[in-house]
Structure 1
Amino acid sequence: MMATKSEKAETVFYIKDLRGHSRELFGVKPEVFDGALFHVDKERITKTEAKKLITQFLQKEVK
């Protein structure tokens, strides 16, 4: 499967840098960002990936 042109062009950022700007970029506190990306085993991800993980985290049912 080949990556689309937009996937190739998206910039990859260090998670720690995205965390430092989590309020401006994603509208969440750093603590929420930490919870959403807790199981990510990479050092770098795209903003799109981070946003998707944060959205999934915030939509999880609380038990």
Structure 2
Amino acid sequence: MMATKLEKAETAFYIKDLRGHSRELFGVKPEVFDGALFHVDKKRITKTEAKKLITQFLQKEVK
């Protein structure tokens, strides 16, 4: 029986490695990536988690 896409564990990558490819992976500059993941205490994160944090960061209201 094959596992569905949701059942497969997504690979976690080192944040510094994702940052180095932030333009290609997420379409944002490294500075935006830094802002979005500023409060993340983990050293590794999945691409899905990073994309979600970047989207939330970009949609925040500027005060």
- Which structure dedicates a bigger proportion of its chain to helix? 1
Root-mean-square deviation over aligned CA pairs: 3.5
- Listed as ranges, the gaps of 5+ residues in structure 2 are none
1:10 deviation in Å?
A: 0.8
By how many angstroms is 1:5 displaced?
A: 5.9
Residue 44 to residue 36, structure 1, CA distance change in 2 (3 Å):
same
Alpha-carbon distance, 1:20 to partner? 0.0
TM-score, with length taken from structure 2 = 0.88
Q: Percent of aligned pairs with the same residue? A: 95
Tell me the TM-score normalized by structure 1: 0.88
- Quickly say closer, same or farther: Cα 1:2–1:33, change in 2 above 3 A: farther
Q: CA deviation at 1:2?
A: 17
Distance 1:46 1:7 in 2: 15
Write out per-residue CA displacement over residues 5-24 of structure 1, whole angstroms, 9 at most, x where no aligned residue: 63642111000000000000
The structure that has the greater radius of gyration is: 2
- After TM superposition, where is structure 1 displaced by more than 2 Å over at least 4 residues in a row? 1-9
